[in-house]
C-alpha cells in the first residue's frame, strides 16, 4: 500500500509542477512534466488493478475494498482523461485554460490520496454497505431454509405421532369388534341346526350393530390409509446436515388395504345377518367365520401400519432435531450480534439501524423455546413456524434495503456514465475536426518524394493517441456496466464503441486521415450521442419517479425501451454498412482478403444484433411474466 501512496504523492507533485512552470512562463518543461505526470498516474492505476486482483485472491477484504474504492473514484473523476485534456491545452498553448484544468486535476488527485489513506471513504462505505447487506441477506436466507427444514421435521414427527395414536385406537376398536364377533359366533353355534322360535332375532340385531360399526371403521381406516401413504414420503425440505446420512425413501406400507379388509368384514356380517333374520343359524356360521378372518387381517394390517409409523419416527429422533434447532438458534443469535455490532461501529449508512436486525433477534427466543420442547420429546412445529416467519420478515426487510442501495448506486452509475460519455463526445468532436483539417492540409504539404512531413505525422499521431485514450475511457465505462449487471444491450454497445475507437486509432497510427477514417469517427460520435440521450432519459425518468423495470428481480439501470432503441440503431448501422459494401466494393475486390474480411465483419455484426434481440425478447418475457404474477 505504501507504493500507492508514493505514486499518488508523485502524481500530485508532478501535477503541481506544470502549474508552477506556467506561472514562471517556462513552456518546454511544462509539456515534459505533464507527460511525466500522465505516465506516473497510468502506472498508479495499473498497479492498483494488479494489487486488487492479488488481494482478492489472498482474501484481504479490507484492502480489496480500499483499492476498489480508489479505482472507482479514478474512473468517476476521469482523472486520466483530464490529464489528457491538460496536455492538449498545453500543445495548443492555451495557458489559462490549462492552468485552470491542472488545478482541478490536482484536487482530484488529493482526493484519491485521501481515499487511499482512509480519510475519505464515503463512496467506499456505500459499496461496503451494499456488500454487507447482501452478506446478511444470504445468511438469513440460509437460516430460513434451515428453520423450514426443522419445522417440517417437527411437523412430520407430530404427524407420525398422531398417526401412530390413531392407528393404535383403530386397532383397539378392531380387536373389540373381533372379540364381539367371535362371541356372537359362539352364541350362534350354540343354537344348533334348528333355531327355536325367535332365538335368532337378537343375534341378527347384534350382527347388524357389528356390521354398522365395522362399516364406520372402514371409513376411518380409509383416512388412515391415505395419511400413511402421505407419510411414507420424506419431506423434501429437510436435507441432512453435515455428517448425517441422507434419509432413504421408504417403500409404501402394505397397510393400504386395511380399509378394504374392514369393508369385506362388514359385507360378511351383512350376509350373516340376513341368514339369522331368516332363522338360519347354521348357514350364518360360514359368513361369521369369514368376518372373523377379515377382521384378523385388518388387525395385522393395522399392526404393520403402526410399525411403519414407528420406523419413520426412529428416523427423526428428538435429540437430533433438538441439536439441529440449537445449531440454527446459535447461528441466528450470532448473526443478530454481528448486525448489532455493525450499528455500534457506525458502519451503516447515515447511522441507520441494520435492516432486519430486530426480526432476526425476535426469532432467537422462539428457536430456544422450540429446542427446549424437542429436548422434552415434544414436537415444536408452531414455535419453529413463528421463528421462520420472523426470519422471512428479516429477509424481506433486507431485500428492500438492498434494492434501495442498488438504486442509489445506479443513480451514481448513470450520472458517472453520462458525464463520461459527454466528455468523450466533446473530445471525439475535437479529434474529428482535427482529422478533417489534417486531411485537407496533407494534400498541400507533401514532401518532394510524396511523403508526409514529420510535423504533420506527429499531429496525426496525436489524434491516434487521443482515440486510444477514448478507447481506455470506453473500457472503464464497460467495467462499470458489467459490475452493475442489469442491462443486456448497453455493455454490448459500449464494447462495440471500444472496438470502433480501437479501429479508428489503428488507422490513425497508420497516418490515415481519409474519408473512411472520418466516417468511423462520425459513427463514434453517433454512438456516444445515442448513449448520452438514453442515459439522460433514464435519469429524467428516475427523477420523475418512473419505474426502471426489473432484471432478475432487481431494478435495471435503464428501461428496456432505451435498449430497444440501441438495438435498432445497431441494425440501422449494419444496414448502412452493408449498403456501402454493396455499392462501394467492386465485384472483383470481394474475393480478395480485404473484401472477405469486411464481409465477415459485417456478418459478425449482424449476428451480434440478432443475439441482442433475443436477449431483449427474453427480458421482455420475464418482465411480462413478473407483471402477470403480481
The total domain count for the chain is 4
- Do 540 and 564 fall into the same domain? no
Residue 75 is predicted with a pLDDT of 80
**Alpha helix (H) ranges present in 376-453?**
381-442
Instruction: Give 313-367 as a DSSP string.
Output: HHTS-HHHHHHHHHHHHHHHHHHHHHHHHHHHTT-SGGGPPPTTHHHHHHHHHHH
Residue 439 lies in a domain: yes
- Do 70 and 96 fall into the same domain? yes
Q: Is pLDDT larger for residue 427 or for residue 38?
A: 427
Encode pLDDT of 232-242 as tens digits.
765 544 445 44
87, pLDDT greater than 50? yes
- Do 527 and 458 fall into the same domain? yes
Burial class (CB in 10 A: 0-12, 13-18, 19+), 31: middle
- Do 540 and 573 fall into the same domain? no
Encode pLDDT of 492-502 as tens digits.
889 989 999 99
- Do 157 and 28 fall into the same domain? no
- Do 536 and 572 fall into the same domain? no
86, pLDDT greater than 70? yes
Encode pLDDT of 472-513 as tens digits.
889 988 887 887 777 778 888 899 899 999 999 999 999 999
Residue 62 is predicted with a pLDDT of 64
Cβ-defined contacts of 409-412 (< 8 Å, 24+) = 409/126, 409/127, 409/130, 409/484, 410/484, 410/486, 410/542, 410/548, 410/555, 410/557, 411/539, 411/542, 412/76, 412/126
What are the φ and ψ backbone dihedral angles of 553, each rounded to 5 degrees?
80, 5
Q: What percent of the chain has pLDDT over 90?
A: 35
Indicate the pLDDT class of residue 517, thresholds 50, 70 and 90.
Answer: very high
Residue 93 lies in a domain: yes
Residue 125 is predicted with a pLDDT of 66
Residue 234 is predicted with a pLDDT of 57
- Do 310 and 238 fall into the same domain? yes
- Do 476 and 428 fall into the same domain? yes
If you average pLDDT over every residue of the chain, what do you get?
81
**What is the average per-residue pLDDT within 517-545?**
88
Whether residue 521 contacts residue 497, with contact meaning beta carbons closer than 8 Å, is answered with no
HEC profile of 460-472: HHHHHHHHHHHHH
Please tell me the number of Cα atoms within 13 Å of 121 on its side-chain side: 19
Range of the domain at 18: 1-120
Quote the CA–CA distance of 486 and 552 in Å, as a whole number.
8
Residue 537 lies in a domain: yes
253, pLDDT greater than 50? no
Q: Is pLDDT larger for residue 223 or for residue 125?
A: 223
Could you say which of 270, 289, 316 is where a domain stops? 316
Mean pLDDT comparison of 83-87, 319-323, 596-600, highest-scoring range: 319-323
Whether residue 124 contacts residue 348, with contact meaning beta carbons closer than 8 Å, is answered with no
Quote the CA–CA distance of 394 and 391 in Å, as a whole number.
5
Q: What percent of the chain has pLDDT over 70?
A: 83
C-alpha dihedral sign at 128, 134, 140, 146: negative
Residue 518 is predicted with a pLDDT of 94
600, pLDDT greater than 90? no
Q: Is pLDDT larger for residue 143 or for residue 68?
A: 143
Residue 178 lies in a domain: yes
**What is the average per-residue pLDDT within 460-466?**
91
- Do 171 and 300 fall into the same domain? yes
Residue 404 lies in a domain: no
Whether residue 381 contacts residue 133, with contact meaning beta carbons closer than 8 Å, is answered with no
pTM score, two decimals? 0.57
Residue 391 lies in a domain: no
Indicate the pLDDT class of residue 195, thresholds 50, 70 and 90.
Answer: low
Among 528, 285, 568, residue whose Cα is nearest residue 421: 528
Quote the CA–CA distance of 489 and 388 in Å, as a whole number.
40
- Do 269 and 415 fall into the same domain? no
Among 231, 212, 232, 222, residue whose Cα is nearest residue 170: 222
Residue 336 lies in a domain: no
Encode pLDDT of 339-370 as tens digits.
998 888 777 766 678 899 999 999 999 999 99
Among 26, 1, 30, residue whose Cα is nearest residue 15: 30
Which CATH number does the domain housing residue 44 bear? Answer: 1.20.120
Residue 505 is predicted with a pLDDT of 94
- Do 169 and 291 fall into the same domain? yes
Encode pLDDT of 297-318 as tens digits.
999 999 999 998 898 888 888 9
Q: Is pLDDT larger for residue 339 or for residue 110?
A: 339
**Which has the minimum average pLDDT: 24-33, 88-97, 271-280?**
24-33
Could you say which of 282, 316, 350 is where a domain stops? 316
Residue 135 lies in a domain: no
Amino acid at each position: 500500500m505504501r507504493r500507492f501512496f508514493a505514486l499518488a504523492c508523485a502524481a500530485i507533485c508532478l501535477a503541481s509542477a506544470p502549474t508552477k512552470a506556467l506561472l514562471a512562463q517556462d513552456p518546454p518543461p511544462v509539456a515534459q512534466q505533464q507527460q511525466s505526470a500522465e505516465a506516473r498516474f497510468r502506472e498508479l492505476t495499473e498497479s492498483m488493478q494488479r494489487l486488487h486482483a492479488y488481494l482478492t485472491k489472498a482474501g484481504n477484504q479490507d484492502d480489496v475494498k480500499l483499492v476498489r474504492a480508489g479505482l472507482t473514484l479514478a474512473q468517476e473523476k476521469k482523472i486520466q482523461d483530464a490529464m489528457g485534456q491538460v496536455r492538449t491545452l498545453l500543445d495548443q498553448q492555451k495557458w489559462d485554460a490549462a492552468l485552470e484544468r491542472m488545478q482541478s486535476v490536482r484536487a482530484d488527485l488529493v482526493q484519491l490520496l485521501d481515499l487511499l489513506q482512509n480519510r475519505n471513504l464515503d463512496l467506499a462505505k456505500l459499496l461496503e454497505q451494499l456488500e454487507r447487506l447482501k452478506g446478511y441477506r444470504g445468511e438469513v436466507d440460509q437460516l430460513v431454509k434451515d428453520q423450514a427444514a426443522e419445522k417440517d421435521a417437527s411437523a412430520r414427527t407430530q404427524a407420525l405421532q398422531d398417526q401412530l395414536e390413531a392407528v393404535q385406537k383403530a386397532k383397539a376398536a378392531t380387536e373389540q369388534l373381533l372379540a364381539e364377533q367371535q362371541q356372537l359366533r359362539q352364541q350362534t353355534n350354540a343354537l344348533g341346526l334348528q333355531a327355536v322360535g325367535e332365538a335368532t332375532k337378537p343375534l341378527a340385531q347384534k350382527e347388524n350393530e357389528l356390521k354398522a360399526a365395522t362399516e364406520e371403521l372402514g371409513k376411518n381406516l380409509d383416512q388412515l390409509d391415505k395419511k400413511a401413504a402421505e407419510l411414507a414420503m420424506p419431506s423434501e425440505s429437510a436435507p441432512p446436515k453435515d455428517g448425517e446420512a441422507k434419509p432413504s425413501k421408504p417403500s409404501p406400507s402394505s397397510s393400504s388395504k386395511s380399509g378394504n379388509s374392514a369393508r369385506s368384514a362388514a359385507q360378511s356380517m351383512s350376509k350373516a345377518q340376513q341368514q339369522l333374520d331368516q332363522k338360519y343359524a347354521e348357514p350364518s356360521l360360514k359368513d361369521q367365520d369369514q368376518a372373523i378372518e377379515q377382521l384378523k387381517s385388518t388387525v395385522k394390517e393395522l399392526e404393520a401400519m403402526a410399525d411403519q409409523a414407528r420406523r419413520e419416527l426412529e428416523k427423526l429422533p428428538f435429540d437430533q432435531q433438538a441439536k439441529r434447532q440449537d445449531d440454527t438458534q446459535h447461528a441466528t443469535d450470532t448473526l443478530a450480534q454481528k448486525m448489532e455490532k455493525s450499528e455500534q461501529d457506525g458502519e451503516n449508512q447515515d447511522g441507520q439501524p441494520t435492516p432486519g436486525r430486530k426480526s432476526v433477534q425476535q426469532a432467537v427466543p422462539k428457536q430456544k423455546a422450540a429446542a427446549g420442547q424437542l429436548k422434552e420429546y415434544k414436537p415444536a412445529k408452531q414455535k419453529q413456524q413463528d421463528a421462520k416467519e420472523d426470519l422471512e420478515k428479516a429477509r424481506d426487510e433486507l431485500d428492500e434495503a438492498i434494492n434501495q442501495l442498488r438504486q442509489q448506486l445506479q443513480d451514481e452509475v448513470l450520472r458517472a456514465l453520462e458525464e463520461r460519455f459527454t466528455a468523450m463526445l466533446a473530445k471525439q468532436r475535437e479529434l474529428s475536426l482535427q482529422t478533417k483539417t489534417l486531411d485537407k492540409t496533407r494534400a498541400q504539404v507533401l514532401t518532394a518524394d510524396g511523403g508526409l512531413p514529420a510535423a504533420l505525422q506527429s499531429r496525426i499521431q496525436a489524434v491516434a493517441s487521443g482515440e486510444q485514450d477514448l478507447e481506455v475511457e470506453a473500457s472503464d465505462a464497460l467495467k462499470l456496466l458489467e459490475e452493475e449487471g442489469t442491462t443486456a444491450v448497453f455493455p454490448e454497445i459500449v464494447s462495440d464503441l471500444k472496438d470502433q475507437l480501437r479501429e479508428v486509432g489503428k488507422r490513425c497510427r497508420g497516418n490515415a486521415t481519409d474519408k473512411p477514417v472520418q466516417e468511423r469517427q462520425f459513427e463514434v460520435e453517433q454512438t456516444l450521442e445515442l448513449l448520452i440521450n438514453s442515459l439522460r432519459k433514464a435519469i429524467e425518468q428516475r427523477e420523475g419517479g418512473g419505474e426502471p423495470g426489473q432484471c432478475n428481480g432487481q431494478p435495471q439501470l435503464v428501461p428496456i425501451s432505451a435498449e430497444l432503441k440501441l438495438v435498432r440503431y445497431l441494425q440501422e448501422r449494419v444496414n448502412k454498412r452493408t449498403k456501402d459494401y454493396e455499392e462501394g466494393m467492386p465485384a472483383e475486390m470481394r474475393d480478395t482478403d480485404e473484401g472477405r474480411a469486411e464481409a465477415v465483419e459485417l456478418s459478425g455484426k449482424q449476428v451480434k444484433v440478432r443475439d441482442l434481440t433475443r436477449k431483449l425478447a427474453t427480458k421482455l418475457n420475464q418482465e411480462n411474466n413478473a407483471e402477470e404474477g403480481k
